[in-house]
Amino acid sequence: MKNLLKILILTLILASCKKETESKTEFPKSDFNLKTDLTVFKKNMTELDTIKVFFDHSVCTYEGYERIEITKQSDSIKIRTEFKELTFSENKKPEWNLVYEKKISETDTIWQFEKFIE
């Protein structure tokens, strides 16, 4: 009788756990469209969006790369730029070095990355 009771309790626990794991978690989706919103991203970005831009600065015998990450934070845009140089690196696996990290107001008129993309 005790074994039957233990089996019944275990079955109920497993059944209740299974129902919780089966429910799908819905994540919020962004409406940002890279093709149409890129030139006005400061207005159309939400905190769900991140833009990553990669540049290859390599030429002739020089090899260097830059990456820019743009994210939205409430009423500002955060820009983080990193650079990796491979030509003069003594390490076999060079690290990304932070060039700058700035927060720019959404209404800023000086940093016009959208104009560069246009």
Convert the pLDDT of each residue in 97-113 to its tens digit. 999 898 988 777 777 77
Query: pTM higher than 0.75 for the full model?
Result: no
Cα–Cα nearest to 72, from 104, 94, 96, 95: 104
Residues 6+ apart with CB under 8 A from 80: 68, 69, 71, 98, 100, 101
Average pLDDT, the chain: 78
Q: Residue 22: is its pLDDT beyond 60?
A: no
Cα–Cα distance between 21 and 3 in angstroms, integer? 27
